[in-house]
Each structure stands twice: as C-alpha cells, then as structure tokens.
C-alpha cells in the first residue's frame, strides 16, 4: 500500500509539506491520495480559465510546484479573441490529503499544460460543475437549418477542406483529411449548422455539409468558405464591388485583390467613395451620386472574402432624359396634367409648325434637343435653354382633339389617340379601353341588334368603318372639341441642374364642343363645319357654311388640328369662338383618360344621352 502511495506521489512530483487551507501553500504533510484519468464525455470537459487560480506543473501545494501560467495570464485567456486555441480540456483529477482537488488540463493549442485547483468536491462526479480556476463552457452551439439554406446547393469556395468538428471547438478533433480528395465543383447540401461561442472567431457560423459525389468529404466547414453553386468566388485577399443603381439593378461588378490584405483593412484598401480604387472603376456612362453617405458606409463595412454594393447614377445625355412634368392653371386652379391626358394617351397632335404626329415622338425630340444636351454631369441650364428645347421639339404650341361628354353633371374628357373624330381614336389609345370585349356589353344593350358586324371591325384593326360607330352609336353621347395648348416660357424655372425634373407651364383654350355628323343637313352650323372640313364635302348644302367661314373649296389635310381649330372658331356664329375656361375645363378634364372613356361609354350604355338633333352643347 505504501508503495502505491509513493508511486502516486512520484507522478505528481510530491514531497511532504506543512498542511494549509490555502491551496497554493505547500505543506510537509500534504500528499496525493488519488490520481485518475477522466472518462466523462469530452463535451463536458471543455473550460475557460477564470483567472482565480494559477496553473502549475504539479499541484500548487506540493513542494517544487512551479507556475506555468499566472492568474493574470489565465484571466487574459478567458476573453481572448482567437479561434478557440485558448480553451482548456480537462483529462485527469488528483485528490490531495488536505481534501483539495486538482485537475490536469491542456489548452487546445497545447501551449499550456498543467494542474489547476478545482475545489473541494470531486469534479469527476460532475465535470460541468468545477470550482477554483476553471469555468465549464460550451464551445459550439448547434441550431436547426433554415429551409432556404437547406434547399440551396453550395460549392467549396477554395480548396476542399472539412472538419470532424468545427476547428478549435474540441481538443485534437480537427481536419477531415479525406475531404481533400473532393472537388471544388462538388454539389454540397447543408444538413447541420451552428456557431462558435464566447466570441471565438467572432462567433463564426459553420455548416455541416454532405457531398454526394465524395461522401468521405462530409464534415463541418465555415459558412464563409462556401459559395452558392455557380457563384463567383471571392478569395480571402479580395473584395468584390457590385456597382448598382438606386433601384438595386447591378450595372457591373469588379473584384479587387490586395496582396497586403493581412496588414491593411479592406476599407482602407478600397479608398473612399469619391477617391480610390472603387471610385476610379465606376463603369462608363455612370457617375457617383452627390449624396455618397451610403457608399461611405458600404466601404467602411467591407471585408476580405466578401462583397459590397456601391451605388452609381446613370449619366444623363440630356436635361429631358428625365420626363418633364406639366403645369396648367385654369380659373386659379393648378393641374399637373394636360387636359384629356394626351401624354398618357400618346395622342396625335398638330404643332404650330404644321407637323402632326404622336406626342410621344415630340417628347423624344425634346429628350435629344441640342439646347439641353449634357456636356458635364453638373451642368446647369437657363430658362432660355429650356425654351429653345421646347420650341425645337414642337411643344411650344400644339393642338389636341378631345372627346367630351354631352351630359351635364358627368363631364369627362380624353385626348384622341388618332387625332381624328372616330372610334379608332377613342378606343385605340394607349390607355383606352380598347378591344371588342369591353364594348360588347354596351353595344349588346342598344337598339342596334346584332353587333357582330360592328365588333368585327374592332377585331380587324379598328378600320375606318368605325367612324360609323361613332356617328351612329356614340353620336348622341360623344362630342368633340379642339384644345389649343401654349407654352408659357416666361414662367419656366431658371438655373435648373441636370438630373432635376423640369415642370413645363402651359395655358390652354378650347373650341366649343361639336358633334361630328356626316349628314350635313343635321346639326348646328359648327357641327356641319366640322363634317365639311373632315370629309372634304362641298355640297350645295354646305355653301352657306363655306361662305360664312371664308373657306371656299378648302381642302383638309388629315389630322390638321390647327386648321380645324381656326375654322371651328370662325364657324361659331354665336360669338367668342372658344368656351370660357370654367366650361371647357372642369376638374374631370384632367382626370385619367381610362376613367374618362369608361365614363363616356357607361353613360351611353345607361341611356344617359338621348339627344340626336346635333345641337352644340359644351361640357360643364
């Protein structure tokens, strides 16, 4: 028995010392009474040093005990921001004759090994409940895998390497040597995940991956060392910069490589949002926005092996690359659209220079006007520049044909998509109802019987036969008028910066509303004048009208709205030639064209208009 005790003492380097209640005080009478290895689960034997006791080469109360790591050193290891090398694994427990227990531990990186006081209770009975200089810790916390990650296929970011356990979370359980036989292109599925704890490796996330191609490579890998299958790899010495627009669309991407990545931060390497590598590599045709606070933040947060989004703005070729807004003042009220919404309808209009075309074409001319072309991205334009651009596009003065309801109480108005008073213009516009399905219920509810022949005209491309629909069916509901629109150049803004939205101010006037009726003997004189002008009819019944308007044998050019405006003003023998603003332009004249058309057709379907005598009635 004595020999056994002496042997245990020899293992610990024991010599007799004077007994003491202080575990660090040597005692001539203190001896080792047991020294056993621990067989508890290794997950239950991982510790942080707490700095309360030092680490010795033998139990600290024994003669000849020397400090391996002092309390200050161990206290520093407790919060060290390494990958986990400073954790300790306990593997033996010794009981001394004074009732104290010591545990033999080794740091995961094997830099520190020795005995540390573990309290007065045997830690082998519960290795998670250790006193003295150790605190039990969990080195890795597992969690469930989100469905989006589980459903994604990944590849190795660099050379394949997995771990039996996440690196530095268990003692002597590291690399899976079989994983090096896998390929970077192997399809990987994530079946487990977790994070490091205690701030080690910034509490990095790890995935457990399964490789169907190379099953021996199955194991744990750092999440940042995986990429989605097919995704461009960003290495540990690189930062990928995505140049994106404000709506998140990627213009291009560039990967920057820094050979000094170990000593220089990624943000410092990239530079600032206005100077440095990121700024000098902005894609052609784009610029850095004036407000670069978001880009500054992105660069500051950049990490090697990752990517950032850097916002850029597409260079403007012209001030009117940004579509203009509109301003119309009528009866002290301000409207933000032109009457009848000719822009939304892409209505055919006639400008003062006699050019008749869709207003969309004129806006394209405005967007390429020489007067407002951009030479630099910080250019400022004068009001004269803007006026010259508007003039060159034919938008300084133009005429619009509009449909208007003939029912008081429900006044509506919409621009003609064709510039002619027929159903094609009413039904065929960009924002109009269009199509036979929308009109079938209306025609079916009328007294015109089978409407299949009429609807056939709709489905065959809205032919000229649709004029008959307007005349016969909608003649009692829909009137027309011509609106004269004039640019107010003296009210346009001055010193406008490129990138701003320009508001174009206009004034408007309108002819009285008229009904288009090819039967010239019916209707008021203004209606007859309109029919004569459009149909180029010069019958004996029309001579009196020709004389009154001063146009004998005058030929009409299709869509010549300027001429129509002038002739209708002359034909209005009741005086004035144009409607007063309050009658011609109610609020509804500036509403959505789709809503307006729907209202017009609904009025007809409900029998709202039943007058067919051709009399002239203005919208109000």
Tell me what pLDDT residue 466 has.
39
Q: How confident is the model at residue 378, as a pLDDT?
A: 83
How confident is residue 119, by pLDDT bands cut at 50, 70 and 90? very high
Per-residue confidence (pLDDT) for residue 522, from 0 to 100: 44
Q: What is the DSSP letter of 491?
A: G
Is the confidence at residue 535, as pLDDT, over 50?
no
Taking the complete model, does pTM exceed 0.85, yes or no? Answer: no
Task: Enter the tokens of residue 344.
Answer: 């939304």
Q: pLDDT class for 438, splitting at 50, 70, 90?
A: very low
Whole-number Å distance between alpha carbons of 482 and 416: 10
Instruction: Name which of 108-122, 402-416, 527-541 the model is least confident about.
Output: 527-541
**Mean pLDDT, residues 371-386 taken together:** 91
> What are 161-198's pLDDT values in tens digits?
999 999 999 999 999 999 999 999 999 999 999 999 99
Query: What is the DSSP secondary-structure string of 403-415?
Result: EEES-TTS--EEE
pLDDT mean across residues, the chain: 77
Among the ranges given (41-50, 346-355, 531-540), the one the predictor scored with the smallest mean pLDDT: 531-540
pLDDT band for position 460 (cuts 50, 70, 90): very low
Q: What is the SS3 string spanning 45-104?
A: CEEEECCCCCEECCCCCCCCCCEEECHHHHHHHHCCCCCCCCCEEEEEEEEECCCCEEEE
Torsion angle defined by CA atoms of residues 183, 184, 187 and 189, in that order, rounded to the nearest 10 degrees: 110
Are 188 and 153 a contacting pair, CB within 8 Å? yes
Decide if pLDDT at 452 tops 60.
no
Distance CA 352, CA 418 (A): 18
pLDDT the model gives residue 559:
59
Spatial distance between the Cα atoms of 207 and 223, rounded to a whole number of angstroms = 6
Mean predicted confidence (pLDDT) in 36-60: 96
Using the predicted structure, report yes or no on whether residue 102 has a pLDDT greater than 50. yes
Q: What is the pLDDT of residue 20?
A: 37
Residue carrying the six token digits 């109610």: 586
**What burial class does residue 4 get, using C-beta atoms within 10 Å of its C-beta: 0-12 exposed, 13-18 middle, 19+ buried?**
exposed
pLDDT of 120 higher than 90: yes
Please state, for a pLDDT cut of 70, what percent of the chain lies above it. 68
Q: What pLDDT score does 499 carry?
A: 86
The pLDDT tens digits of the residues spanning 549-602 come to 444 444 445 556 777 777 666 655 444 456 666 667 777 677 655 544 455 445
Domain range list for the chain: 2-135, 141-228, 238-314
Residues 6 or more apart in contact with residue 454 via CB below 8 angstroms: 443, 448, 469, 473
> Which of 71-75, 144-148, 611-615 is least confident?
611-615
Give the pLDDT confidence score for residue 481 in this predicted structure. 78
Provide the pLDDT for residue 613. Answer: 31
CA dist., res. 26 & res. 328, Å (int):
100
- pLDDT, average across residues 26-44: 87
pLDDT of residue 525: 54
Residue 570 is predicted with a pLDDT of: 64
What confidence tens digit (pLDDT) does each residue in 256-282 have? Answer: 999 999 999 999 999 988 888 998 999
Residue 611 is predicted with a pLDDT of 33
Share of the chain above pLDDT 90, in %: 49
Q: What tens digit of pLDDT does each residue of 143-167 get?
A: 999 999 999 999 998 889 999 999 9
């Amino acid at each position: 028995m004595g020999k056994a005790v002496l042997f245990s003492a020899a293992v610990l380097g024991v010599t007799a010392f004077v007994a003491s209640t202080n575990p660090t005080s040597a005692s001539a009478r203190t001896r080792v009474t047991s020294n056993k290895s621990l067989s508890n689960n290794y997950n239950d034997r991982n510790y942080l040093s707490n700095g309360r006791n030092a680490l010795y080469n033998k139990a600290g109360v024994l003669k000849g005990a020397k400090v391996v790591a002092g309390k200050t050193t161990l206290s520093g290891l407790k919060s060290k921001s390494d990958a986990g090398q400073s954790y300790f694994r306990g593997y033996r427990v010794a009981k001394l004759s004074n009732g104290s227990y010591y545990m033999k531990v080794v740091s995961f990186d094997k830099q520190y090994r020795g005995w540390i006081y573990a309290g007065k209770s045997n830690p082998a009975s519960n290795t998670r409940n250790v006193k003295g200089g150790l605190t039990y810790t969990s080195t890795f916390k597992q969690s469930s895998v989100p469905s989006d990650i589980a459903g994604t296929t990944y590849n190795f970011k660099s050379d394949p390497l997995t771990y039996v356990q996440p690196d530095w979370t268990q003692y002597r359980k590291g690399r899976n040597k079989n994983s090096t036989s896998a390929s970077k292109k192997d399809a990987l599925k994530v079946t487990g995940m977790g994070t490091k704890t205690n701030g080690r490796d910034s509490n990095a996330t790890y995935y457990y991956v399964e490789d169907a191609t190379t099953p021996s490579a199955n194991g744990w890998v750092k999440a940042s060392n995986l990429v989605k299958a097919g995704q461009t790899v960003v290495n540990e010495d690189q930062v990928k910069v995505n140049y994106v627009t404000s709506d998140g669309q990627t213009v291009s991407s560039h990967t920057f490589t820094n050979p000094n990545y170990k000593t220089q931060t990624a943000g410092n390497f990239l530079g600032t949002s206005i100077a440095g590598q990121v700024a000098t590599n902005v894609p052609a045709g784009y610029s850095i926005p004036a407000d670069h606070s978001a880009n500054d933040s992105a660069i500051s947060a950049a990490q090697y092996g990752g990517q950032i989004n850097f916002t850029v703005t597409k260079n403007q070729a012209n001030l009117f690359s940004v579509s203009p807004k509109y301003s119309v003042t009528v009866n002290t009220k301000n409207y933000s659209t032109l009457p009848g919404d000719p822009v939304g309808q892409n209505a055919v209009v006639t400008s003062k220079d006699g050019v008749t075309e869709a207003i969309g074409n004129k806006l394209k001319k405005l967007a390429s006007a020489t007067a407002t072309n951009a030479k630099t991205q910080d250019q400022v334009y004068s009001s004269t520049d803007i006026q010259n651009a508007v003039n060159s596009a034919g938008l300084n003065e133009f005429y619009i044909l509009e449909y208007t309801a003939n029912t008081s109480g429900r006044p509506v108005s919409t621009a003609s998509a064709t510039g002619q008073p027929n159903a094609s213009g009413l039904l065929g516009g960009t924002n109009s109802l269009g199509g036979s399905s929308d009109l079938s219920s209306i025609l079916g509810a009328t007294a015109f019987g089978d409407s299949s022949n009429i609807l056939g005209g709709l489905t065959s491309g809205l032919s000229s036969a649709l004029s008959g629909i307007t005349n016969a069916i909608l003649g009692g509901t829909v009137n027309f008028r011509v609106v004269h629109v004039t640019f107010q150049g003296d009210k346009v803004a001055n010193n406008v910066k490129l990138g701003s939205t320009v508001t174009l101010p206009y004034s408007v006037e309108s002819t009285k509303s008229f009904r288009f009726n090819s039967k010239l003997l019916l209707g008021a004189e203004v209606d007859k004048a309109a029919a004569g002008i459009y149909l180029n009819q010069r019958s004996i019944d029309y001579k009196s009208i020709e004389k009154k308007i001063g146009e004998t044998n005058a030929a009409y050019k299709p869509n010549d709205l300027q001429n129509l405006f002038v002739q209708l003003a002359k034909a209005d023998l009741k005086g004035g030639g144009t409607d007063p603003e309050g009658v011609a332009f109610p609020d509804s004249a500036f509403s959505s064209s789709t809503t307006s058309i729907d209202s017009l057709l609904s009025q007809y379907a409900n029998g709202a208009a039943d007058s067919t005598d051709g009399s002239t009635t203005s919208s109000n």
